[in-house]
Amino acid sequence: MNAPRKLKVATTSLAGCFGCHMSLLDIDERLLELLEFIEFDRSPLTDIKHCGPCDIGIIEGGVCNAENVHVLREFRANCKILIALGACAVNGGLPAQRNHLDLRDILAAVYVTEEGLVPGTQIPNDLELPLPLNHVHPIHEVVNIDYFLPGCPPSGDAIWKFLTDLLAGHTPRLGHGLIRYD
C-alpha cells in the first residue's frame, strides 16, 4: 500500500502575538510525528510568502487591518479547511478591546496629543503600511471558517488532539481540560 499523500498545511498570524504558534511548537517531539503526515506551505516556520493550494489553513489572531484581510482571503481561497486558532482569531481577543473606542481618537491620542511626542510627529501615512480597520473582527466575521480552537493560547496538547483527530478523519473533540478560553 502506498503511503498516503502528505497533507499541505499553511499557518499565519494576523492580529495575534504568535503565542499560538509557540504553542504549536509546544507539541514538542510529536511535531516530528506530525511531519510524517503533513508538510508546511506558507507559514512562519517555512518563510514561504504566499499560500498555494492547501488542505488545511491555520489562522492565529483577529483581523485588525487591511493586510489581515488580504492574507485571510488568500488562505480562504487556497485552503480546503480553515481553522481559527486561539482566542484572538475566535473572538478578537486582546486587540478587540479597542473596539469600544473610536479609531480616530486612538490614532490622534497615540500620534498627535500624547505627551512626549517628538515635535512634528504625525499619523503615519506611508503607503507600505496597512490601514487599521475601524474595529477588530474575529476571523469568522470576514471569511467562512470551518473549525475553531479557542484558548490563549490553546495548549500544545489541545492542538495535538485537534490535529490528530482531523488527520484521522474525525471531527475534532476536545475533552475537559483541553477546551479552554483562557
Partner 1 sequence: MSETNTFILDDQEIPFTPGQSVMQAALSAGVFIPHLCYHPEFRPHGSCKLCTVKINGRPATSCTTPAAHGMEVESNTPEILDKRRTLVQMLLVEGNHFCPSCEKSGFCKLQALGYELGVMTPRFNLLYPTRPVDASHPDVLLDFNRCILCELCIRASTEVDGKFVFALSGRGIKKHLVVNAESGRLADTNFSLADKAAQVCPVGVILPKRKGFAVPYGERHFDDAPISAHVDEFKPVMPGQEGRS
Partner 2 sequence: MKNSDAIGVVLKRHGNDGTRLMQILRETQEALGWLAPATLTVIAAGINWPRSRVESTAGFYSFFHTEPLGRYRVLWSDNITDRMLGNMDLMQAMCEKLWLEPGRVSADGLVSVDTTSCTGMCDQGPAILVNYRAITHMTMERINQMVELIHVQTPLAEWPAEWFKIEDNIRRADILLTNTMAPGEALRISFARGTATEVETSFSERSWHESMQASDIGASATLDEIKKSALRGRGGAGFTTGLKWEACHNAPGRTRYVVCNADEGEPGTFKDRVLLTRQPDLVLEGMTVAAFIIGASKGFVYLRGEYRYLLEPLNAVLAKRRKLGLLGENILGREGFNFDIEVHLGAGAYVCGEESALIESLEGKRGVPRNRPPYPVTNGFLNQPTVVNNVETFASAALIAAKGGDWYRSFGSARSTGTKILSVSGDCERPGIYEYPFGVTVRQVLEECGAHDTQAVQVSGPSGICLNRDEFDRRIAFGDVPTAGAFMIFGQQRDIFEVVRNFVHFFAHESCGFCTPCRVGTTLLKNLVDKIADGNGTRTDIDEIFHLNRLLQTTAHCGLGHTACNPLLYTLEKFRPAYERRLKLLKFVPAFDLDAALSQARQMTGRDDAGAHLEPQSEVAQ
CB of 77 to partner 2, least distance (A): 5
**Residues in 83-112 that interact with partner 1 by CB under 8 A:** 84, 87, 90-94, 96-97, 99-100
Sheet holding 38-40, edge to edge: 38-40, 7-13, 54-60, 79-85, 147-149
Residue 138 within binding range of partner 1, rule CB under 8 A: yes
Stretch that binds partner 2, among 19-27, 39-47, 126-134, 150-158 (CB under 8 A): 126-134
Among 31, 38, 143, 152, binds partner 2 (CB under 8 A): 143
Which residue, 39 or 146, is less far from partner 1 as judged by CB? 146
Which residue, 58 or 149, is less far from partner 1 as judged by CB? 149
Residue 167: half-sphere exposure toward Cβ, Cα within 13 Å: 19
Looking only at Cα atoms, what is the longest distance across the chain? 70
Decide: 86 and 153 in contact? Cβ < 8 Å: yes
Within 10 Å of residue 52's Cβ, how many Cβ atoms?
Answer: 12
Residue 173 within binding range of partner 1, rule CB under 8 A: yes
The answer for residues whose C-beta is within 8 angstroms of residue 49's C-beta and 6 or more apart is 42
154 binds, among partner 1, partner 2, none (CB under 5 to 8 A by kind): none
**Residues in 70-99 that interact with partner 2 by CB under 8 A:** 73, 76-77
Among 22, 35, 45, 66, binds partner 2 (CB under 8 A): 66
The backbone torsions φ and ψ at residue 125, rounded to the nearest 5 degrees and listed phi first, read -130, 25
CA dist 110 → 66, 98, 121 (Å): 20, 13, 10
Where on the chain is the footprint of partner 1 (CB under 8 A)?
84, 87, 90-94, 96-97, 99-100, 135, 138, 140-141, 145, 147-150, 152, 173-174, 176-177, 179-182
